[in-house]
Chains A and B, each alone.
Chain A
């Protein structure tokens, strides 16, 4: 244990305390809510009214401002779910299990959003509502993975077993994420290549990608808010026998 403490920061162990997590998320929530509202409102107004139309796709290009952030978020959410699950498996941390459980429904709905906006965008661009393009298909697979995790969670009654099983499944599914990332190169279909690359400058002009960046950060803030709200519910429910939860409820 003392060995562990040397290379892991203190907050990591504080995270293991549901009470500490409940308090800290309560303090962080208002800030994230304000950031989310500010970023999403400016992002949407900018995207819909001020960003220039694409010279090829016209105004249907504006769907990118919700399609790309939702696709990015759906993938990162899966990553977080798997990592939180792994932490829960290794350190037997209750809070990590709760984070993983709270991630699944958010990720699934965001994946649905990415698929729906992608399909709608496909109609004016490719001429049909659904195209079996590599990245749409891998987003669909990602949605299936989320649904599998949710189904496994609801099938097992024991909370601890359910969390551990779901963690193993999401880690196995994580192997699928690189396949999603590189599927563009493998199948090489009609989808446009990734908009943002870490190593290269985006191909779009700044007046197009700056609002996109605002939207991406706004979506992450939204994710943080939704995750914290769900996590707090989960903590209250799982810790209902703890003294501090009783005090909290009596105070109301």
Chain B
């Protein structure tokens, strides 16, 4: 552990803004890259299911 207290950990020796900002951006981009295809998959599946139903009904 290189920090003595929680407040020191958040302050990051005065560079807290930079460190936390960059980690937040990185996390947001990583999560976005996982969530986006998962959501897309749901859309693709419902889309294809609807298409299939329409083909069967005609």
Residues of A within 8 A of B (CB): 40, 44, 48-53, 58-60, 62-63, 66-67, 70, 106, 109-110, 112-113, 116-117, 120-121, 123-124, 222, 225-226, 229-230, 232-233, 236-237, 240, 245-246, 249-250, 252
A48–B23 touching, CB < 8 Å: yes
Which B residue's beta carbon lies closest to that of A237?
B44
State the CA gap A230–B40 with chains docked (Å). 8
B26–A60 touching, CB < 8 Å: no
Tell me the residues in window 27-54 of chain B with beta carbons closer than 8 Å to chain A beta carbons.
29-30, 32-34, 37-38, 40-41, 44-45, 48-49, 51-52
B52–A246 touching, CB < 8 Å: yes
Which B residue's beta carbon lies closest to that of A109?
B29
Report which of A50, A62, A109 forms a contact with B19, defined as CB distance below 8 A. Answer: A62
Report which of B9, B18, B25, B48 forms a contact with A60, defined as CB distance below 8 A. Answer: B18
* A44-B23, A48-B23, A252-B45 as given contacts; A109 in contact with B18, CB under 8 Å: no
* A59-B15, A229-B34, A233-B44 as given contacts; A120 in contact with B21, CB under 8 Å: yes
Query: For chain A, what secondary structure do more than half of its interface residues adopt (helix, strand, loop), or is it mixed?
Result: helix
Query: For chain B, what secondary structure do more than half of its interface residues adopt (helix, strand, loop), or is it mixed?
Result: helix
A113–B25 touching, CB < 8 Å: yes
A109–B32 touching, CB < 8 Å: yes
* A49-B9, A50-B1, A53-B2 as given contacts; A60 in contact with B19, CB under 8 Å: yes
Report which of B1, B9, B23, B52 forms a contact with A66, defined as CB distance below 8 A. Answer: B23
A113–B44 touching, CB < 8 Å: no
B45–A249 touching, CB < 8 Å: yes
What are 27 inter-chain pairs, A to B, with CB distance below 8 A?
Answer: A49-B1, A49-B2, A50-B2, A52-B2, A58-B12, A59-B13, A59-B15, A60-B15, A60-B19, A63-B23, A70-B26, A109-B32, A110-B29, A113-B29, A116-B22, A120-B25, A124-B15, A222-B33, A229-B38, A230-B40, A232-B41, A236-B44, A236-B48, A240-B48, A249-B49, A250-B52, A252-B49
Interface size on B, residues (CB 8 A): 31
Which B residue's beta carbon lies closest to that of A52?
B2
A120–B38 touching, CB < 8 Å: no
Smallest Cβ distance from B6 to chain A, in angstroms? Answer: 11
A106–B13 touching, CB < 8 Å: no
Residues of A contacting B14 with CB < 8 Å?
58-59
* A58-B15, A59-B15 as given contacts; A106 in contact with B26, CB under 8 Å: no
Smallest Cβ distance from A9 to chain B, in angstroms? Answer: 28
